[in-house]
A and B are shown apart, each in its own frame.
Chain A
Amino acid sequence: MGAPTGEQAVTLPVLVIGAGLAGTVAAARLQARGVPVRVLADRPGATLLHGGGWQLGPDALRESHPAAEAALDDALDFVRIGLESLALTEGLFDLPDVEGARRACELAPATHAVVDGFGKGHAVADLSPLGHPFAAMQGRGTVVTVEWPPYPDVFGRSFAAMAHRLEADPTEPARLIEALKRALKGTRHDALLLPPVLGISRTEALRRQVAAALGIPVGEALDALPSTPGFRLHAALTAWLNAARVPMQTARVASISLDPLGVQVGDLLVPARAIVLATGRYLTGGLTMHPAVREPLADLPLTPSVPTNPLWHARTDGPYDGRVFETGVGHDPGFRALGLDGRPVHPHVYAVGDLLGGGDTLTQASASGMCIASAWVAATTIADGFATGEKT
């Protein structure tokens, strides 16, 4: 099998590996530009752990990824319009405050700002047995104990489990409203702050239903993992890809081949016009730490480079500088993955999202912005090349 040329190259799809935030944005952008695209993923990845805030971190992007920073506004508009056109943004880009108005939420700690937006006259629902961490943290409002849910099987689990339960059972919202009414009986409050339990994909409808029944505005705070907002984001991204009719396949990619260009799935080499690596970092296997720090699919060099076994290094050879959390795949301004010589390993292999090195997403809080902007730029580069390539 030779290198794809001519007509064959035009009909081959771009393969996006990974269906998290970066993979989804890349695929949706390519599809919007009319480029045949296919998503390969075996699970949603770290997007499910998203805290609900959009950690854009433009300052961090400016320092380490100028190409992403320059495109951030366009990229964000693309995502915002894409999700809004499907009525998917509710509860994602921002959080409802007491007035029902939307408060931009750029960082996860902005949850506190939402809580601040509530006057002192609001009630904070303490859902037994999980309580309400933000109520204790803020020391504002009045905590009311709500006897919900009545199920032993979600006791001691999480608000996310309650949110799943509330959405799965159509009779459950009415029972929650009843419990809230009982808890608020005989008291006067301006508003009600709930933990994030109002469903996964029908959040706004549920919120309105509860608010209408209680006669006061209802808001939701964020929470620790497992994060209800993470589930909501994942549901929205999946819905976005489905609505855009992007073909998705559940597949575990073993490696990628540069010549001919394609990805290895089991015994099968799936040929591709271009490949977008959106595989994340250590958590989701985009980078491995055992037995060595490396990029497992194409063995791309990492930047900044780290000792192949950083933990061993840390124990034996003096202080460890912590760069293992900053390392990742290098990229050119079009987000092609770089090889050892500092030039793209292949003109059609791209790396986007958390897989990229140069910033510590844990401390710089730039993960979401990085995913959106890099995926958007890479998809645009591919689509532009595709358009000119077809003409010539």
Chain B
Amino acid sequence: MGVLSGPWTWKRFRSFAYLAIAFNRRQARRLFLGRKDDGGVERFLENFAAEGMAPLSAGETELIFSLSKCTYCGICEAVCPLPVDRWPAFSRALEHARFAAEDLPPSCPPECRQCETLCPTGVPLREIPAFVRRSGAARRA
């Protein structure tokens, strides 16, 4: 089960050994040189933020999980009074958020809950525009 199962080939052994060396070196640096952070987060963001892999808060992770319950049935689109026809698409594909953010309609009328009350799987649809704007802005930054 997991990373430790499977046959122990030489290649695999070497990979684990490199991991162990890197881990120990890092711990030693932190201990003796007092370096708490070696800029890993910045380097990660530099490389991957453009592809939509910016860090998410716990609440955002939760939201994305509930958005993934979308079955593309299209009921929300059929009853939505706003001129937007891509609600389901907005619920996935974070790397497209910056393009989607430019395309967003004005925000939902506060009293309209048509889509959320009718969604068979209970996707929190009204939270999508704010989320897309937020993460779209984060991607551009």
Interface residues of A (CB under 8 A from B): 42-46, 48-49, 152-153, 155-158, 160-161, 164, 225-226, 230-231, 250, 283-285
Contacts and interface: CB of A to CB of B under 8 A. Distances in A.
Nearest to B86: A156
Interface string B60-90: 0000000000011111011100110100000
A48 B118 contact: yes
Given A49-B73, A152-B83, A153-B83, A283 B121 contact: yes
A283 B120 contact: yes
Nearest to A231: B78
B55 interface: no
B101 interface: no
Contact of B122 (A48, A250, A285): A285
B40 to A, nearest CB: 30
B87 to A, nearest CB: 10
B117 interface: yes
Contacts, number: 59
B79 A164 contact: yes
Given A153-B83, A157-B85, A225-B73, A43 B78 contact: no
A230 B118 CA distance: 11
Given A44-B118, A44-B120, A283-B71, 15 more contacts: A42-B117, A46-B120, A153-B82, A157-B78, A158-B74, A158-B78, A160-B78, A161-B79, A225-B72, A225-B74, A226-B75, A231-B75, A231-B78, A250-B117, A285-B122
B119 interface: yes
Contact of A284 (B78, B82, B116, B121): B121
B101 to A, nearest CB: 20
B77 A161 contact: yes
